Structures are given as structure tokens and as C-alpha cells.
A and B are shown apart, each in its own frame.
Chain A
Amino acid sequence: MKTTAMKHRSRRDRRRGQAAVETMMLAFMVAVMVVATFHLWKVTWAAENSNIRAREAMFHGTAYMTGPRAGNTSASALFNQGEKNYNKATPGGSINFSSSASDSVDGAGNINVNLRITQ
């Protein structure tokens, strides 16, 4: 014959570990979310960084392209470093300026940004 105390212990036994499993599952999902959000941030940041670098390369040439993340940036710059001014608009001919920047993100490949001024 089971006493009241034995009945309570049995119910506790049945629930033992349940919280641990739930916590583990929740922690796993939260971790996935955090990693995904972090990765998303990296991709977004890389894209914005590339856009900004391409733009700066276009408008300021290499003046702003000397940092550690400047390696993948190139441009037919509108800016003349020697004159510290924009290039003179020589008459005639077509207008073709371009700038590109890329940034690599682990697992997402390269983010490429191309800017163009063209006729």
C-alpha cells in the first residue's frame, strides 16, 4: 500500500528532467537565432560597407581607401589627389566612371557592389 508521500515522490520522478530538456531545446533554438542574427548582421554590414566604399572610391579616389578593408576597392575616380579637387570635365567624349567594392562574408561568399556614371 502506497502512502501519500510515496505518491508525491512518484509524480516528481515522472517530471524529473523535463525542465532540463525544455531548457536545452529552448537554449538551442535561442542559440540558432542569435547565430542567424549575427550572420545576418555580418552580411548586412558587409553590403553596406561595400556600398559606402564604392561610393567613397568614386567620389574621393584613394583618399579614403587606405584602411585595412580597402583591399578590394577600385575606381576610375572622379577625384584628383594631386589637385585635391574633382577632375576637370574635359569636353567631348563619353562619360564613363565606375567603382567597385567587395567584401567577403564567411558562408555567404562575396558581396559585390558596382557603381557607374555612364552616358
Chain B
Amino acid sequence: MARFLRRVRQRAGQAAVLIALTLFSLVIFLAMATNVGILVNDKIRIQNAADMAAYGAAYKEAQQLNKLVQINKQILEVARRCRQTLTSTVWTGEICTCENTSPQAELVIEACQQEMDLLAQQFEFEASYQQTVAQAKAVAQSTLDANVSGLGSNLDFFDAASSSATRSGAYRLATTNAPALANFERVEDTIFNYPVLKQCPFGPSCISVGPVPSPNYDMETWYHKDDKNPDVWVMVAVKGTMQSKYLDIDGGGSSGYFGSSSDGGAPDTMYAVGVAKPYDGSVGPSEAPADFYRNANLPDGPYYTPSSIQYPEEAMIDEYRARLAGINEWDGASADYKPKSALSQARFGAISANVNKFRH
């Protein structure tokens, strides 16, 4: 009993134990600080890469939209030139038919329509899914790789998600139903007419009557983006394993320090989502007053109606730019497609399961 009490009273080595415990705690805190630092840094890197990729893709779409506006302007120029040609001359009607049409003027109209149709073909080619969204995806991919090597192969561009604006077929050209960047409709201009001297039978010969206006002609002219919401957007989701190896106290495995490890297993994977959109331009004026708000970037006016078609160029603004957007930006809007809805269909299960954690 006495020996036991002596051993209990002996305090040699007590400090060593305390020192060991203290040092162990300090090492743990140092490791924690290292891990958090590296994790935060890697998170910033992957988020930056996702944002750059989304911005690059939206920029590519903005480039294409500006190109479309320029083609629209060319169509408008042809239409104006034709109207000028038709109205600056008094045309002669077909001999002794008494009809208020002129074969020569009809030829001019046909040539004008052909010229505009050629430009329309160019417009539809440039507006096609292949030339717009598919190209934007390529930009996103190369941008990811440029920022973090190998990240491009882990891109989800949401082109397979049915709730996404970047899915092939989400938007279409009204004329051909082909997949496109947005819903584009061709505007019918009905103000093409010309003054004509009718040649009417009068006894054995003909007399000229008029000039009278020819009937109005429907001509297919420029395009407008048939959409009431600015819901042309791109979303990029990306996942990656950190390049930096960080301290891994359990020596591997996928349930290590802070639920992660440096072995590249599932808990090591980081996710980032970026959204961007083209904005600040306008493809062309819409067709009717009811559609006035269809193009969100349309200025106060004017809009196209058969009776007021003075300044359509004011709604052809080739100043599309790109900007970053928020995942929840279209919440509450009656947009055709919303990033948040598409996010729930993400290729990466970990994202779709945590959609509500994205707050911006």
C-alpha cells in the first residue's frame, strides 16, 4: 500500500505527457490551417475557371448575335433600296389588261426577294445551334483547360438537360424548325408597293389610267428574336480533383481528415458552377404590338406593324456583350428555361442533389 501511494505521488514525466499532447494539438491545428488554405485556394481556382468558361461561352454567343444583327441590317438595307426603286418611278402596267401591276416592277420585287433570301440563308446558318451554342461549348471547354489543365473533360454544358437553354432544340428557327440559339422569326413586310399607270382597253386601243398604287406585296425581310424573356444563357458546371496534395492524416482512404483525403477519391472532388448571358443588344423589331415586349432589349420604340415601319434599325442593335449571371436570376420570371431547373438535371449527381445550396 505504501509503495502504491508513493507511485501515485511521483510526478516525473507528467510534463512530457502534457508537452506531447500540446504539440499534437498544435500539429493538428497547423494541418487544419494548411488544409483550409489549400482547399479555399483550390475552390477559388475552380470557381474562377467555371466563371471564365461561362463568360467565354456567353461572349461567343454575343459575337454571333452581333453578327446576326449585322445581317439583319443588310436585309433592311435591301428592303429600303427596293422600296426606293419601286416608289421613285411610275411603272407601266401590262398592256390593255387594266390591272394595276407592272411586269417590270414584279421583276424588281422578285430580285429583291431573292437578294433578301440569300441573306436570310446566311442568317439562319449563323443562328443555327451548330454555329452558336456548340461553338460556345467549345470555348467553355478550352477556357477550362487553359485555366486548370484537364478540367475541360469534366465540363457539363447542360446541353443534355431538358430544362436548359443550351440544349439542342430548346430554341428553333421558325422557318425551318432547325435548332438555334434563340427562337427567331422572320418578319413579313407588307409595305412594298409602287405607282403604276394602268393600261386599260378603250375602244380599239389602250389608254393609260393613273398612276394608281399597286397592291401591297408581302415580302419576307429581317428576323427578330421571338422571345419575351432574356433567357439566352449558358451555364457551366465543372468538377475537379485538387491538383495540390494536402495533408492527409489518415494516410489515404476516402473518409479522412475533414471528410476528405488527398487520394483523389470522391470526397476530394470539388464542384463549381458559373452562369453568364449575352445582353445589351437587340436582334430586330418584333412583328406586332402584342409582341412588343418579346425582345427584352427593345428600346421604347418603334416596333414593327404594317402601318408603322419607319425606324426598324433602332431595334437592330449590334452591341451584344456578355456578363456573368446568377443561378437564381430568373427565379420568379416566366422564362422558358431557368438555370436552377437545369441545375437539378446536372450530369454530376452531387450538384443536382444540392441545388438549394447555390445562393447567388
A interface residue numbers (CB < 8 A to B): 18-19, 22, 25-26, 29-30, 33, 36-37, 40-41, 43-44, 47-48, 51-52, 54-55, 58-59, 78, 85-92, 95, 97, 114-119
* Residues from chain A with Cβ under 8 Å of B321 in the complex: 85-89
Do A78 and B44 touch across chains, with their CB atoms under 8 A apart?
no
* Residues from chain A with Cβ under 8 Å of B278 in the complex: 89
Task: Please tell me which one of the listed residues A37, A52, A91, A118 contacts residue B66 in the complex, with CB atoms under 8 A apart.
Answer: A91
Do A51 and B45 touch across chains, with their CB atoms under 8 A apart?
yes
Do B142 and A44 touch across chains, with their CB atoms under 8 A apart?
no
Known pairs A51-B44, A85-B321, A118-B142; list 10 more (Cβ under 8 Å): A22-B16, A29-B23, A30-B22, A44-B37, A78-B322, A87-B321, A89-B66, A116-B52, A116-B147, A117-B146
Do B30 and A91 touch across chains, with their CB atoms under 8 A apart?
no
Question: With the chains together, A115 CA to B318 CA distance in Å?
Answer: 28
**Known contacts A43-B37, A86-B322, A89-B322, A119 near B60 by CB under 8 Å:** yes
Q: For the complex, is B186 an interface residue (Cβ under 8 Å from A)?
A: no
**Known contacts A118-B143, A119-B138, A55 near B63 by CB under 8 Å:** no
Q: For the complex, is B248 an interface residue (Cβ under 8 Å from A)?
A: no
Residue of B with least CB distance to A87? B321
- 8 closest A-B pairs by CB: A89-B62, A44-B37, A91-B67, A116-B146, A117-B56, A86-B321, A89-B63, A33-B26
Do A26 and B19 touch across chains, with their CB atoms under 8 A apart?
yes
* Residues from chain B with Cβ under 8 Å of A43 in the complex: 37
Chain B's nearest CB lies how many Å from the CB of A60?
Answer: 11
Q: For the complex, is B222 an interface residue (Cβ under 8 Å from A)?
A: no
* Residues from chain B with Cβ under 8 Å of A116 in the complex: 52, 143, 146-147
Question: With the chains together, A43 CA to B63 CA distance in Å?
Answer: 39
Question: With the chains together, A25 CA to B38 CA distance in Å?
Answer: 30
Q: For the complex, is B59 an interface residue (Cβ under 8 Å from A)?
A: yes
Do A51 and B29 touch across chains, with their CB atoms under 8 A apart?
no
Question: With the chains together, A30 CA to B22 CA distance in Å?
Answer: 9
* Residues from chain B with Cβ under 8 Å of A54 in the complex: 48
**Known contacts A37-B33, A44-B37, A119-B139, A91 near B322 by CB under 8 Å:** no
B12-28 contacts to A (CB < 8 Å): 15-16, 19, 22-23, 26-27
Q: For the complex, is B319 an interface residue (Cβ under 8 Å from A)?
A: yes
**Known contacts A78-B55, A86-B322, A86-B323, A40 near B37 by CB under 8 Å:** yes
* Residues from chain A with Cβ under 8 Å of B324 in the complex: 59
Q: For the complex, is B305 an interface residue (Cβ under 8 Å from A)?
A: no
Q: For the complex, is B118 an interface residue (Cβ under 8 Å from A)?
A: no
Do A95 and B60 touch across chains, with their CB atoms under 8 A apart?
yes
